[in-house]
Amino acid sequence: MEDFPHSLCATWHLPIAQNLHEIKFVHLVGVGATVIHVDGEVVLHRSSYSGKSGKDHFQIESADCLITVISTATIHECILYVNGKRFSEYAKWYSNHFATWKPKIAGVDIRVVLDKSTMELWANGRVVECTTNFTESGTIRNFELDPNMKIPSAIVTSDKEYSNHTLMVDGEMVPLFEEIDEKEHKLEF
C-alpha cells in the first residue's frame, strides 16, 4: 500500500482464535478519504468524512472492529477497537485465553495456537490431533506439527500452575510468542 503526502497509515496484526489477520488502514487527512484492507482485500472505502475525524466499523470473523480517527489542529491519530476494547486491552484478553508460539521447522515459521479453555490446538490455522497423557506433575499433549516431517512435539501443562503451558519441539522448548504490540499511529503537522 502506497503512502501519500499527509496520509495516516497504520497496520495491525489481529489474532482471532487460531487465525492471524492483517489490517491496513489509510486515511488521506486533507480530504478525509479512507481505505481499510483486511488480509489484502478492501473491506471499506469511504471517499470522505463530514470532517477530518471519523469512525469506521467492519467485521473480521466474529470480531466487531472499529477504527477511530481523531483529529486536532496538529495531530491526527487512529485507534483500533476490537469487540469494544482498545487493541491493547484486546491483546491482554487474547493472551489470557490463547497461548501462541512460532517455532521454525525446516526454515519455515509455524504459528501454533492453544485455546487455554478448550485445549484445542492449531498449527497455521488447522486443527492438530493430539494424544493426551496425564502425569503426576501435569498433562502432556503429544502431536506432530507437520505429519510429513515426523518431528515430535508436545505441550506440557503443569497442574501446579494450570496457566503454564510449554511447547516442546524435537526436545527443545519454544518460547511464547507475543503477537500483539500496539503502536501509536499519529501524523503530526
Top mean-pLDDT range of 12-21, 24-33, 41-50, 153-162: 12-21
pLDDT at 50 over 60: no
Q: Which of 8, 10, 12, 23 is nearest to 72 (CA)?
A: 8
Q: Which of 28-32, 65-69, 85-89, 184-188 has the lowest mean pLDDT?
A: 184-188
| Alpha-carbon gap, residue 78 to 68, rounded angstroms | 5
- pLDDT mean over 91-95: 90
- pLDDT mean over 30-43: 87
What was the pLDDT predicted at 1? Answer: 44
Four-way CATH pick for 7-93: 1.10.3720.10, 2.50.20.10, 2.40.128.180, 1.20.1050.140:
2.40.128.180
Which band of pLDDT confidence, cut at 50, 70 and 90, is reported for residue 180? low
Residue entry with cell 519441539: 169
- All cell numbers assigned to 92: 491482554
What's the pTM value of the predicted model, to 2 decimals? Answer: 0.81
Instruction: Detail the DSSP E strand segments found in the chain.
Output: 7-16, 19-28, 33-38, 41-46, 54-60, 63-71, 75-82, 85-86, 98-101, 104-105, 108-109, 112-115, 121-123, 126-127, 131-134, 138-144, 152-158, 165-169, 172-174, 185-188
Domain 102-170 fold is Lipocalin (2.40.128)
- Model confidence pLDDT, tens digit, residues 121-156: 999 888 999 999 888 888 889 988 876 776 778 888
- pLDDT mean over 68-75: 79
Please enumerate in sequence order all residues whose Cβ is within 8 A of that of 36, keeping only pairs 6 or more positions apart, or say none. 23, 24, 25, 42, 43, 44, 45, 56, 58, 67
**37 in helix, strand or coil?**
strand
What was the pLDDT predicted at 183? Answer: 64
Same fold, 7-93 and 102-170: yes
Task: Note the helical H segments in the chain.
Answer: 87-97
Looking from the CA of 67 toward its CB, the CA atoms found within 13 Å total 30
Output 170 or 29, whichever has higher pLDDT.
Answer: 170
In the chain, where are the structural domains located?
7-93, 102-170
